[in-house]
Amino acid sequence: MTYRIKMRLNRLVSIAIATIFLSIGFQNQAIIPTKANPTTQKNLVAQDVSAIWEKGSFPVENFQSYTSPFGYRNSPVNGQRQFHNGLDLAAPRGSYIRNWWGGKVSAMSDNSACGTSITIQSGEWQHVYCHMEGYVENQSNGTYLLDRDGGIQITLGQDVPVGARIGRIGMTGRTTGPHLHWVLKHNGKYVDPALVLKEMFKRQAVSSAS
């Protein structure tokens, strides 16, 4: 089995496991996004971009489970009702995070509740990765996200291909355990990442079978 085929199979297995958790574990959760209702989001994910989902990358290696869905919830930190703008994917600390879609690094930070984070712009889509290991450093020749133990160095403005390792699961910022808080936006509006993962699995499963 070639390395490329093995990686593709591993990615399909990860997305398959993720889809099971999404369809079973969260079926009773209330999903109430801001600025876009669930029907609008489903139509967005399924319409003109449907043919390209097979090229996306599942964002977490060593994926274990989902710990919190997109939508309104009671905060695990203070118990207050709040809007959770992303999807939490649990994995052992130090597991690598992969870039969901090719794009340009548009922002990075290490001084907010999101912890050490990176934002990537891919056309009309923006994806944010939070609670990573490492820190942000400003140098005379640019701004960098550095995780030396993980061999990660990402530059602000850098082009990052789909599937590239861009960080590791950490516990920076406001978090109760190691996980990736993954945020997706389309033209500035939040989109439920669960919808995207389901469509990815559907399209990649069809592509793999053909």
Question: What's the CA angle centered on 157, arms 152 and 162, to 5 degrees?
Answer: 60
Count of structural domains, the chain: 1
Q: Is 80 exceeded by the pLDDT of residue 50?
A: no
Asked whether the beta carbons of 67 and 130 are under 8 A apart, the reply is no
For residue 155 the two structure tokens come to: 């530059």
Greater pLDDT, 97 or 29:
97
Compute the distance between CA of residue 60 and CA of residue 179 in angstroms, rounded to an integer.
9
Choice among 16-30, 74-88, 126-140, 151-165 with the minimum mean pLDDT: 16-30
Q: Is 90 exceeded by the pLDDT of residue 84?
A: no
Q: Is 50 exceeded by the pLDDT of residue 30?
A: no
Q: Where residue 203 falls among pLDDT bands split at 50, 70, 90?
A: confident
pTM (2 d.p.): 0.77
Domain that holds residue 42: 3-209
pLDDT for 16 equals 52
pLDDT for 25 equals 40
- The mean per-residue pLDDT over the stretch 146-171 comes to 97
Strand, coil or helix: 23: helix
Q: Where residue 5 falls among pLDDT bands split at 50, 70, 90?
A: very low
In CATH, what number is assigned to the domain containing residue 76?
2.70.70.10
Q: Is 80 exceeded by the pLDDT of residue 141?
A: yes
Nearest CA to 118 out of 142, 140, 135, 93 is that of 135
For residue 78 the two structure tokens come to: 């203070």
- The mean per-residue pLDDT over the stretch 130-152 comes to 96
Task: Give the helix/strand (H/E) hosting 176.
Answer: none
Sign of the dihedral through C-alpha 186, 93, 114, 18: positive
Compute the distance between CA of residue 154 and CA of residue 105 in angstroms, rounded to an integer.
8
